[in-house]
Amino acid sequence: MHNFELVKPTTIADAVSALGGEDAQALGGGQTLIPTMKQRLAAPAVLVSTAGIDEMKGVCLDDNGRLCIGGATTHATVAAEAAAHYPGLAALASTIGDPAVRNRGTIGGSLANNDPAACYPAGVLGSGAMVVTNSREIAADDYFQGMFTTALDEGEIITEVKFPVPEKSNYQKFLQPASRFALTGVFVAKFGGGVRVAITGASEDGVFRWTAAEEALSADFSTGAVDGLSMAADGLINDLHGTPAYRANLCKVLTVRAVNAAA
């Protein structure tokens, strides 16, 4: 690992100011960035930690009934404190990594990294959530822009995520046992105006919505609505863990399981 300076701001304004310096990078829980630095695949000169920014922590409901989660909130906190309001999202958080990862990793760090097999992107896109930064709000449909790519600008940090709370929801994850990432994961959320289905771990382009399943489930929220569907394997990940065809089948199987569990 290369030498670096660690800055520990206590306010969002101070963090943004520090990130304006040369070769500075935000540090959430460090569950991806620190191992990457240890492998010398990244070498920022300055790390700006969000761990001491209290205004970026916590779980609450706003006046519009949305579940608001601070960007520096750990997965373990989301799993514990969101359960009463949004059990589907809380259950998703409880499947991330192992206890050590859940007690260090943050929702903001996960979304900023946007790993193609991460769990939170499915929950955010499946909920139609709003990603709030130090300077603007970004709808989930506009935020995710491909593998490890987001709408964030240089020096922009995620301060909060606002989740509309659905009538029913569930996350099903086919676990890759070594990494505990999703070989494929499906998040289903039923709202009064329709159903959203978001899939992670399957596509070369990262998280995406399965619109055919959304249309079918919006008309009939039952496992039978998914029976006649199939997903094309084009553009899905092909690696030692599974072929594109295998992942395409997993998308359907996990969607059926999620609908069954939610219903």
pLDDT tens-place values along the chain, 263 residues long? 788 899 999 999 999 999 998 899 899 998 888 889 899 888 888 999 999 999 999 999 999 999 999 999 999 999 999 999 999 999 999 999 999 999 999 999 999 999 999 999 999 999 999 999 999 999 999 999 999 999 999 999 999 999 999 999 999 999 988 888 999 999 999 999 999 999 999 999 999 999 999 999 999 999 999 999 999 999 999 999 999 999 999 999 999 999 999 98
| Cα 261 from Cα 188, distance rounded (Å) | 10
CATH 3.30.43.10 fits 1-49, yes or no: yes
Q: Hey, what CATH topology would domain 168-262 get?
A: Enolase-like; domain 1 (3.30.390)
Three-class SS of residue 218? helix
SS3 content of the chain, % helix, strand, coil (to 5): 35, 25, 40
Q: Where are the domains of the chain?
A: 1-49, 168-262
